[in-house]
Amino acid sequence: MDIVIALIYIVLFIIMMIFVFSIGMIRNYMPKREIVLVLVVAFLIGAIGGAFFLEPIYEELPQMMSTVEKNVPGNEETMYLDLSSSINMNELNDNLSKTEGFVSLKETAITIPLWKLNDKEVEYFNYVLKNIDSHFKNYNVTKDGKLQIELEDNYSSYDALKSFSDWYKLVYGGSISYAQVHAELVVSSSSIEDFQKILLDYGVVPSKMEGPVQSTINDTNTSMLPSTHFVLITGAVGVVVALLGIYYDSFGVFSRRFRRFMREKRKR
């Protein structure tokens, strides 16, 4: 949210509280039983003002808090990406590496969907995968037909998919139509938005993010009140402001008596 808009919202809420205060002040000209009505109206105005003007600012609090971390030199964020094998990884890497704030892009694993496997097929794939390519660091085969293969450092997903596809075609006579590439993109915290825009051009949204900025956002979200509770609190603020208006004259009398008492005490 723009700072100017946020300030306007805050000013509008303050104006509403001034109006509530004014309602409280004219309570002396109403029957005593009307005090409940004044407090109810004050609560509604506070709740409505909080919902329309303060809650949008409150919801932006995690992003505002993360701005500090974004501007700390040396802070880095890790984006975990799930990419289609149809994406040109060389082109993507080239576009990302040219962007200021780029640290590294590492292809970590591939996931190949097959068909539902029985126990014998799971055992067979677990046995044969280690012999297909020595660069397969680790692998996991599930009964729902997903083969997840971890890659050694500096080994590309293209080469890994080619090795498996060549073996698959030789054994089964078919081809692999789709696979997913898992990668880790490390960037400067101050440049997160730039890289998110580039990834969005490829239809990619990070599945997870880790780093100082994301930790700040997560911690702030955890500590924040639900929207309903926040609105109720702003309603309670309206009630407090109304009470200040109702008893303003009493506060003024007490304040004058207190100042008089202090002056007399000093004279003694």
pLDDT for position 133: 79
Which pLDDT belongs to residue 186? Answer: 93
Query: What three-state secondary structure class fits 226?
Result: coil
Nearest to 151 by CA among 169, 167, 129, 172: 129
Give phi and psi for 8, each to the nearest 5: -65, -45
Q: What is the pLDDT of residue 259?
A: 64
Burial class (CB in 10 A: 0-12, 13-18, 19+), 115: exposed
* AA identity, residue 82: D
The whole-number pLDDT of residue 215 equals: 84
Would you state the structure tokens that stand for residue 90, as one six-digit string? 């060389």
Regions of the chain where pLDDT drops below 50: none
> What 3-state class would DSSP assign to 268?
coil
Per-residue pLDDT reduced to its tens digit, 136-163:
888 888 888 888 888 888 888 888 888 8
> What local confidence, expressed as pLDDT, does residue 16 receive?
93
Show the tokens assigned to 201.
């051009």
pLDDT of residue 153: 83
The per-residue pLDDT for 232 is 94
Per the structure block, which two tokens stand in for 130? 């280690």
Q: From CA 268, how far away is CA 263, in angstroms rounded? A: 9
Dihedral sign computed on CA atoms, order 9, 15, 20, 23 = negative
211 in Cβ contact with 78 (< 8 Å): yes
Q: What's the pLDDT score for residue 240?
A: 92
The tokens describing 196, both together, are 């998110």
Residue 257: the pLDDT is 58
Q: Which two tokens stand for residue 197?
A: 């825009």
Q: How much is the pLDDT for 1?
A: 62
In this prediction, residue 127 carries a pLDDT of: 80
Give whole-number Cα distances, 240 to 43, 44, 248, in Å.
Answer: 9, 12, 12
Percent of the chain with pLDDT over 70: 90
Q: What is the pLDDT of residue 18?
A: 92
Q: Residue 168 has what pLDDT? A: 82
